[in-house]
Amino acid sequence: MNDFNGNNFNGMNMNGYENNGSVQRYSGSAEPAPPPAKPPKKRRPHTTAKVVAVLAGVIIVGSGAGFGGAYLANRTFAPTAVTSNSTSKPEKSESSTNTSAPTLDEMQSGVTVPQQNLTSNVEFKTDGSYMYTRDLVNAVRDSIVYIETYVENRGTKVPVGAASGIIISKDGYIVTNNHVVEDSTGYTVKVFSTDITTGITDSQTYEAELCGTDADTDLAVLKIDAENLPAAKLGDSDKLSLGDDVIAIGNPLGYQSSVSKGIISGLNRQVSDSKRSLTAIQTDAPINSGNSGGALFNSFGEVVGIVNEKRVDSYAESMGFAITINEAKDVIEDLVRNGYVTGRAILGITYLEINEMAAAYRGDIAGWQVKEINEDLPVAQSGLTVGDTIVEIDGKSVLDDDVQNIFSEKQPGDTVTVTVVRINALGREKNVDIEVELSEYKGD
């Protein structure tokens, strides 16, 4: 049940997560940085919550009445035009594209599984995959970096988190999770170089710039000024089968370049909270805090997933999830070239969702109560006003779970019919239909 005190931003309800067995992805905080002397203790879940979803170690708990309590977010969000069950991605706005930035194909140009790290006696199976896990690990381990995030406090850098990232280009583009970098102002990236003959690993640390983030898909891209890096080859997650061997490489609890092995436990998992959904890979490879942003590799040494969460449940073990690389590819390119994911339509309002029970309790109207209108967007000229309660969009109740599908089928510049209940000075209610031109969500 949604708590009527939850905040909602730009047309997306940010109320509490439902305890319905789904995995929630967003916590609003980075991976905790481990202390230097010993690994950090795991945070305990709220005692009233039996099921807790974690962003590869970051626990999300509800407040109030168990797991369904209000969950407040301090960021602006919007209905997405791209969901995991969309049949196609909206066309990009060419006018917003930074044509000087590379495409994903250009970033991956010349990138192969780095055979130069391997000894001459490496064995392969008949299908070309690695015979032994140790050789696979030696081939790809240095493509995973250690990311530390910090904030500035009176001129001092204060560490706030640590996690993992994947080098996707030889000149320093790195993909990680949005929840790793959000709420931070600076980022350092440690790149590893391992001598396979001696086993000695050197590292070099770089300051990184943030290219773009996307909370919808929990992805972010960083850039460091470097050359000839051991970039990872991005594979094809559509070719995965149940039971395929995979390895996860990351920096759990600060243990750098840590490897875990497992299999593909599930495909096309709709990993979701009550507002959004991703198509994810499920694996039994152990995932822990700090693995976020690391890679899930197939037996050919290709990245097939970006690790971003696990499930903690009294009745479940070894349930880790990774964003499918095929779903991530378009997002990565958009973040590099635009800083945000193009083609997403929003109303451009801040609202408070009031469900039927809350409306009855408060004597209010059930729906989206408009709290703020972005004056720089077309919605400001539509006739919609603060205080209106939106009850329907294109004839569909805004309290229906699938109302976001309306936005997934729209592009910026399209119009929707917004039905509002407006109360006049005499306290009388009146239904009004308003045509609203949708705007493009630019991640701000």
- Active-site positions read 179, 218, 292
C-alpha pair distances (Å), 196 with each of 21, 95, 167: 44, 47, 19
Neighbouring CB atoms inside 10 A of 252's CB total 26
DSSP 124: B
- β-strand partners of 279: 270
Largest CA distance in the chain: 86
CA angle 134, 139, 143 (to 5 degrees): 120
Specify the pairing of strand 233-234 against strand 302-313: parallel
Place of tokens 């030889």: 170
Q: Is 122 exposed, middle or buried (0-12, 13-18, 19+ CB in 10 A)?
A: middle
Q: Tokens for 418, please give them.
A: 């917004």
Cα gap 259→303, rounded to integer Å: 14
C-alpha–C-alpha distance, residues 331 and 13, integer Å = 23
Q: Within a 10 A sphere around the Cβ of 313, how many other Cβ atoms? A: 15
Residue with tokens 């994810």: 280
Which two structure tokens, joined as six digits, stand for 201? 């690993």
Alpha helix segments (H runs only) across 290-338: 325-337
Q: Work out the angle at residue 290's Cα, subtended by the Cα atoms of residues 114 and 205, and round it to the nearest 5 degrees.
A: 60
> For 22, which DSSP code?
P
Number of C-beta neighbours around residue 71 at 10 A: 24
- Distance CA(267)–CA(76), nearest Å, equals 31
3-state helix, strand, coil in the chain (%, to 5): 15, 35, 50
DSSP 142-155: GGEEEEEEEEEETT
CA dihedral 249→250→253→255, nearest 10 degrees, is: 80
